[in-house]
Structure 1
Amino acid sequence: MAEPTVDLALDARTILGESPVWDDRIGRLYFVDINERRLHAWEPQSGERISIEAPEQVGCVALTNDTGKVLLGLHRRVVVVDVASRALCASLATTPDSHGIDDMRFNDGKGAPDGALIIGRMHSKWREGKPGRLYRLAPPGELQEVLEGTPIGLPNGMAWDMERREMYFVDSKAQTITAFATDEGGVPLEGAAGRLVATVPSEEGVPDGMTIDRTGNLWVALGEAGAVTCFDAQSGAQLHRVALPVGRPTACTFGGADLAVLYVTTREEKGPSAAEHWGGVFAVRVPGVAGRAGGFPVRLPA
């Protein structure tokens, strides 16, 4: 079998690149730079690149049913952005004051099969055990907490199985990938016990952003380990591990022609051992592997 290939797709130089999502309808890759407060849009075919400044740290970007608009998860708001005009045109929801303001911000999030947004919120002191939260937003409704009562450390990558009966979820603090039973819309059922898919030993990296391929296997960026790894979603067995020329990958999504390219975002590295192209977006091609959409479009209110 031919070996995987890894190429620098875009020398983005992000400080904390995250949340890549491919819009197959228009051939565009979106990703964010959390610390630089920017949304990036890039079209590999034409080379066009757009950079939009956000008013706050931006944890994630999600597609909508309007190809000209995306959602951003900011500090405590979810907002609509018109990409062409580069304008924030609506705020859909704000987290309650009782759920923390200064010490928490939105992190990873994706559109669910039912057209809602599933989005996590992390605490700045997650390493000290401060918990995170997970929400569902069905525009124009309010944020509803999901998996309430389930311990959540640092909410990160999400993906849905082919039958939309389970949502896979990364908790970077616990170093785990867990499958939660869902309703027909892909929303985790309250009170349902999660099925542990895999635990990543700390010496092998920190599981971060995640996506799913067409055979139902999970691809996870391993922070601080310089690799992306593929897990069997049922057995948890490691099927592939692809080394990258950088040390700090953050998240991944399938895109490109036939969704055969795994785009990987990365973050800043410092010191004499820093990789030449830290902060870049890399294109990983694994022979015989193609993906599914990294997230479903969120339905905006009419």
Structure 2
Amino acid sequence: MAKVELACDAQCDLGESPVWDDATGTVYFVDINGKTIHAFVPATGAHNTITLDQAVATIVPTSRPGTILAALEREVVEVDVAAGTTGRVLATTPEAHGVEGLRFNDGKVSPQGSLLVGRMHTKWREGKRGRLYRLDPGSSEFGEVLSPEEVYLPNGMAWDEAKGVVYFADSGTETVVEYQADAQGIPRRGEDGRLLARTVCRLPSEHKYVPDGLTIDNAGNLWIALGESSTIVCIDSQTGKELQRVTLPVKRPTACTFGGEQLEHLYITTRVETGADASPNHGGLFKVTIPGVKGVAAAYKFPL
């Protein structure tokens, strides 16, 4: 029943972090390895890019139209979309947390306006672990949310405001976890210091088809990009059972978000394929439309 279309032939090396900005009608996404931010306007087909001097892992919209935040290797910076330039550095990760082999990964803004962003190690397959940080509005310092002992490869996230929870994909453990959220939408701990969490699902594949980026629909179900699998899977957030699977015309999906005026489309980023059997339009941005399926809310914005 799903209709799958190529939305934008972006030719990304490592497309990631799609986000719908309802204020401008734009799907923003990044090419991490290409050090590029992409801005695609479905209504007109306009496609513009901004090239930076560092790998750019994720972007989020802000309360100031035309300004987005970009998480680079260690810094979160403002980006003026029209000018195509970076501006103020909001925060930088501590030197004590390491530099070599580490970079930011997926991130999103909570309903309350805090940025939740993961940092990964490029040698994660060798057991090197990352961290999860928070950046609150008005702050110039990151706070640690999950330590390396508590997270492996931090990835996609989504909030269910009615339940007061945040869902989080850890690609290293191949799990999706539900955390009870605090007043800022950040995973919280009990009086004993332990995280208030439960595992929604495990998707074991020996790191072949890892859960990557994810989003949530208006029925509270999770849509998860399974890397290297050619598929996006829908999971019941209560039971962890698979409800639906959408097959894509490319092998390497990375992340997804709902967009469109009624959040009726699922936009999916992909990454490069090599060899004689590479799929047409690999590295492109795809659009999936599924009757009756819509997003729950437009992307939350970081207050500036």
Report the TM-score, using the length of structure 2 for normalisation. 0.95
2:143 equivalent in structure 1: 144
What letter matches 1:112 in structure 2?
Answer: S
Q: Deviations over 1:66-91 (max 9, x none)?
A: 12100000000000001011111110
What letter matches 2:291 in structure 1?
Answer: P
2:39 equivalent in structure 1: 41
1:167 equivalent in structure 2: 166
TM superposition shift of 1:150? 5.0
Report the TM-score, using the length of structure 1 for normalisation. 0.96
2:18 equivalent in structure 1: 20
Q: Deviations over 1:123-177 (max 9, x none)?
A: 1111111111000001331100013475211100000013251110000011100
For residue 12 of structure 2, give the secondary structure of its aligned residue in structure 1.
coil
Residues 1:133 and 2:131 are matched in the alignment = yes
- Paired residues of 1:218 and 1:233 also in contact (CA < 8 A): yes
Change (3 A) 1:164 1:74: farther
Unmatched segments (≥5 aa) in structure 2: none
TM superposition shift of 1:183? 1.1
1:177 equivalent in structure 2: 176
- Paired residues of 1:162 and 1:216 also in contact (CA < 8 A): no
Unmatched segments (≥5 aa) in structure 1: none
For residue 127 of structure 1, give the secondary structure of its aligned residue in structure 2.
helix
Q: Deviations over 1:203-259 (max 9, x none)?
A: 772110000001110000010000000001111010110000000000000001310
Change (3 A) 1:149 1:87: closer
What letter matches 2:287 in structure 1?
Answer: A
1:225 equivalent in structure 2: 229
Q: Deviations over 1:63-115 (max 9, x none)?
A: 11112100000000000001011111110000010011122100000001111
Aligned positions of 1:76-225 closer than 5 A: 76-141=74-139, 142-148=141-147, 151-163=150-162, 165-190=164-189, 191-202=194-205, 205-225=209-229
Say what the alpha-carbon RMSD is for the aligned residues: 1.3
Name which of 287, 290, 294 aligns with 1:283.
287
What letter matches 2:19 in structure 1?
Answer: V
- Paired residues of 2:104 and 2:117 also in contact (CA < 8 A): yes
Residues 1:263 and 2:262 are matched in the alignment = no
Runs of 4+ aligned residues of structure 1 deviating over 3 Å after TM superposition are none
- Paired residues of 2:187 and 2:196 also in contact (CA < 8 A): no
How many percent of aligned residue pairs carry the same amino acid? 50
Equivalents in 1 of 2:49, 2:127: separation in Å?
Answer: 34
Equivalents in 1 of 2:225, 2:270: separation in Å?
Answer: 9
TM superposition shift of 1:185? 2.1
For residue 214 of structure 2, give the secondary structure of its aligned residue in structure 1.
strand
Equivalents in 2 of 1:67, 1:173: separation in Å?
Answer: 35
Report how many aligned residue pairs link the two structures: 298
